Amino acid sequence: MFEIHWVVIFGAFILDFLLGDPRILPHPVIYMGKAIVFFETRFRQMIKNLLVSGFLFAIVLILSTWTLAFCAITLSMMIHPVFGYFVQMALLFFCFSSKSLEKAALKVFQTLENHDIEGARKAVAMIVGRQTQTLDEKGVTRAAVETVAENFVDGFLSPLFFALIGGVPLALAYKMVNTLDSMVGYRNETYILFGRASARIDDVANFIPARIAVLLISLSAFLLQFKTGAKAFKTGFSEGPRHKSPNSGYPEAAFSGALQIRLGGPNVYHGILVEKPYIGITFQDPEPWKIRQACRLMMAASWSALLISCFILFVF
């Protein structure tokens, strides 16, 4: 098991803050996606019981990701410890996506500000799983804020959490878990059995980070002087469990309380209407400028998590 140095975490975050998701660099998640596509057919053919094949498929890919990362970092540390730190920093950088998420969400805000609802629907479709063709302004805004809240956990806090407890190999293994869930963790005819293990592993992996997120979001709302830190904390833990997902509801509810807006509600996914409860039921529907406020809150929470993590590693 790798221990991680605070310099690696801080450097990876700064790289993400400065570069976002540069298209010119080969992103490990792209190769994770290709591996998922390549091995899915083969596991389905080898084992006809879809629950068993789906479980083994997920476990093999997660363990393979951890093993490859472990070997790459071990080799780089053998070459030179400084080189090893740079390799870890680069790999962890690819696990973080706060800046690219902020950029994508702000693009939605800008198109709404320009009264371009079609452009806003296309922009938000790039970062959400629901159908967006019929969303009105409030629906687009709600979708953007919800994905900022949810992906604060998936795209930053969970990778950071696993890097802290198991080093960069475990953070990359988490990214495979998250990628598996996003590609095969659906409750449709194709994946209801085969993707069940991937979805459940993702639920377990995000359980603790999703609840820590409420604390960080509440703290950040206080630091940003939103005067809603207590409301974020209360809404996060009281209404978070209302969500169909065991984890997504917590950061979404915390954002709902911090920004004092109503989120959730029914949405269409892959042509199927999914009835989801509203979160923040005492608040009003969000206005477009709340997207920008949500991005500020997400980045503040990311910085808070970073500084707390580096402090813990530096001291202990």
Angstrom CA distances, 278 to 143, 203, 252, 265, 292, stand at 13, 21, 11, 5, 21
Q: What percent of the chain has pLDDT over 70?
A: 98
d(CA 156, CA 136): 29
Segment holding 58, helix H or strand E: helix 50-79
> What are the tens digits of pLDDT across the range 21-56?
887 777 899 999 999 999 999 999 999 999 999 999
By CB neighbour count within 10 A (0-12 exposed, 13-18 middle, 19+ buried), where does 223 fall? middle
Question: What pLDDT sits at residue 189?
Answer: 87
The predicted model gives 73-80 an average pLDDT of 96
- Indicate if the pLDDT at residue 8 is higher than 70: yes
> What are the tens digits of pLDDT across the range 95-115?
999 999 999 999 999 999 999
The pLDDT-based confidence of 1 (bands split at 50, 70, 90) is low
- Concatenating the DSSP letter of every residue in 239-271 gives HGGGSSSTTTHHHHHHHHHHHTB-EE--EEETT
